[in-house]
Every structure is written in structure tokens, then in C-alpha cells.
Amino acid sequence: MNQQSARNLTMFDLFARSWQRSAAVMDLRFNADGTAVAFAGADGSLAIAPLADAESPEKRIRVSADFGQTTIRPRKASAPPLTETAPLAKGTPPLAAGPTDRFIVASGGEELLNIDASGEIENTGIRLGRPVTALDHQAADGITAISDGTFLYLSRDLGPLNRLEPAADGGIEAIALSPDGLRIAASSADGLSLWQTTGTNHECFHLPGRPVSIRWTADSRWIACALGKGGVAFVDPASKRTGILPDFPAPVKSVCWSRPANAVIASGAFRIAAWSMETPPLIDNRSGALTTGRAGHVAIEQVAAHPLKNLVAASYSDGQIVVARIGSGDELPVRHAGGPVMALEWSADGHHLAIGTADGTAAIVTLPPQIFKS
């Protein structure tokens, strides 16, 4: 795109709505109906932004009738302020996307609240009475999962809690419901624990570290775990197979799956690390390796796969953010520098990339289809 008319503004200036919060933005979620995104702050507050934009990039793009050149004009006005709540917890409140336009938040670390896109708060009636360390929600079956660090609890349609048998060593810090709603995975000091949501069966997969991030494939077959200094783990619950990739130059904080590329992507290297699942890297990190993006001098910290395209967004430890085509060296710089990115996620339609940073920046980058080559 020709951006001369934008007075050499950066892509972030032209395509992002950005807000400065008073505390680090540690987590974020888009709601299920695609109308808003919630940013969770280290001060316990929640800030909500609508995805609708009166000055969206599409409305500011012009194509010259004479030469067919595409230009974009800068915004005329600042984005409207975020809808913010008072602090709901002492630290970052556990957050999940709930039904329709609502978000589920653990208030005070002990009870669950529904907060809609307008910021209206409703009590769900679910109170654990102990600090909640992890939270997830699966909309299709109305399953909510929470943990106090020792036990896992399930609720259907925000009804009574059902306690599952504890993992052998407790210490649950991350949980993830499978997309089909049949299983729930949880971190433990000994690795990954897995329960059925409709029964009491429980199994443990021993890993060389505690998962800090757990991600299921869309078909609920594979689980990828970021193990920090332990690298990346792959788990196939059906066959009981596991694979470990330990050799990363930096701690692996983030993993994701690309359905369009049938690939897994991880942080922790000096370029985007990606592998095709046609030949899973269960033993050898060269198996199925997909050269993606450009090699840099600082490590990748967060990765987020585009839901509909063969693309992945990645942030470096210096705050730079790029979008790369999986299996290609091409990169599109989105932000050149800034505070370290703590949370990075695409909207379900792939139209928006939400960003939360350690210096309190909350942002939504809206990338029109014209920005990507077919």
C-alpha cells in the first residue's frame, strides 16, 4: 500500500486503536459474538473496547481512479475511551469469554461474575470461597471450569459446581477445555493432567516442566504445552504419545495451532518456530520444520495464529510485532518497538489483532483484507 498521504506514519499509527492503562495489561479475550474485547490489568481491573470502529481502516482507504494506487488517511479523532471497571481482584483477574457478548471474570479471586460488552456486571451465583487460579469456558456446551490450584471444578450453564479428583501433586496454574467439550487439561508440577468432563477418569502425562500455556487443536486431537525453560511438549491423548522439544534459546511462553496451515507455532527462538503436523516433531525438531519469518537478534515471546489464513502474529522481547506467512520468510511489521507484549490474540473472523503490553498499552489493530497478498 502507498502510505505517502499518511505523512510516513507507521502501520501501528494507521491501523491501531490504542489506549494507555494505569497498569500492565496481562491478559485479554474477545467475546463469543465478536462485538468486543476485554483487557485484564495487573491492578485487578477490566477494560472493554468495542470492535465496531467509526473510523475503521476500510472507511479511510482510497484507490486512485487514475493510477489505481491505494492510500489511507490518518484518523481524524482519537478512539473513544475504554469502558473500565473498578479493581475486581488484587492481581490480574482470571478471564474467559462467556456466552454471547459476556465475559466471565473471577472477582476477588473467589466468585464468578458475568460482564457484558457495555461493562454491566452480573453475579453468576458461583462462589468458590477460595482464590481462583485458573478459568476457562466452552461456549458450545456451556461448560465453565475453574481451579483453586488444587482441585478442578466444572459447572454446566453456570449451575452447581462439580469437583473433580485432584491431580497427584496439585499446583494447577493453567487449564484448557477441549473444543469438543469432552476433556479438560490442567498443568501440574509433574506435567499435564487430563480429565473427562462427563466422568471421573483422570490420567497424567509426565513432562519435564510445568505447562505455562495449554492449547488444543480445533479437532481436540492434540495438545501443545509451553514449558518455559523446558521447551515445548506435544500430547496425543488418544494414543498416549508425547513429544518434547527442549532446545530453545529462551523460555517458551506461548504456543498456538494454525488450522489453515495444519501447523504448530511456538515462541522462544530468534525467529518464529513452526512445524507441519503432517510430520509431527515428536522426537526431532527438524521434522516438519517450516521456515517462518526472519531471524532476529531478540527472542519471540508471544505467538497467535490467524484463524482463517496461513498467517501468524508474533511479538519479540523488544516489543516489535510482526505478521508472517507460515512457511515463508515474508514478514509484515505491525509495530516496531514498545513494551513487552503480555497477551496477543486474533478475533474469530481474523479481522482484528488485540495486544496487551507490560507498559499498560491496550490496542486493537484492524487489518483490512487488502493488506495481505492472496
| Predicted confidence band of residue 91 (pLDDT cuts 50, 70, 90) | very high
Distances (CA, A) of 294 to 8, 134, 304, 324: 24, 35, 16, 9
More reliable by pLDDT, 133 or 252: 252
Mean pLDDT of 56-82: 85
Ordered strands of the 311-316 beta sheet: 300-305, 311-316, 321-325, 331-335
Question: On the CB side of 35, how many CA atoms lie within 13 Å of its CA?
Answer: 11
Q: What is the model's pTM?
A: 0.94
Q: Report how far residue 55's alpha carbon sits from residue 118's, in angstroms, rounded to the nearest whole number.
A: 20
User: Looking at residue 8, what is its pLDDT?
Assistant: 75
Mean pLDDT of 344-348: 98
What are the phi and psi torsion angles at 3 (to 5°)? Answer: -110, 20
Mean pLDDT, the chain, integer: 92
Inter-residue contact 223 to 192 (CB < 8 Å)? yes
Distances (CA, A) of 374 to 56, 68, 310: 21, 18, 10
- Quick one: cell of 323? 505478521
Ordered strands of the 232-236 beta sheet: 213-216, 223-226, 232-236, 241-245
pLDDT tens figures, 195-216: 999 877 789 999 999 999 999 9
DSSP letter for 348, please: T
Q: Report how far residue 134's alpha carbon sits from residue 127's, in angstroms, rounded to the nearest whole number.
A: 14
User: Looking at residue 189, what is its pLDDT?
Assistant: 83
Q: Report how far residue 75's alpha carbon sits from residue 29's, in angstroms, rounded to the nearest whole number.
A: 25
Question: Lowest-pLDDT range, 73-82, 194-203, 256-265?
Answer: 194-203
| Predicted confidence band of residue 5 (pLDDT cuts 50, 70, 90) | very low
Residue 240 has pLDDT above 80, yes or no: yes
More reliable by pLDDT, 88 or 168: 88
pLDDT tens figures, 8-56: 788 999 999 999 999 999 999 999 999 999 999 999 999 999 999 999 9
Mean pLDDT of 175-181: 96
Residue 1 has pLDDT above 50, yes or no: no
Question: Lowest-pLDDT range, 170-174, 218-222, 321-325, 356-360?
Answer: 170-174
Q: Report how far residue 15's alpha carbon sits from residue 267's, in angstroms, rounded to the nearest whole number.
A: 25
3-state secondary structure of 300: strand
Measured torsion, CA atoms of residues 334, 337, 341, 343, in degrees rounded to the nearest 10: -20
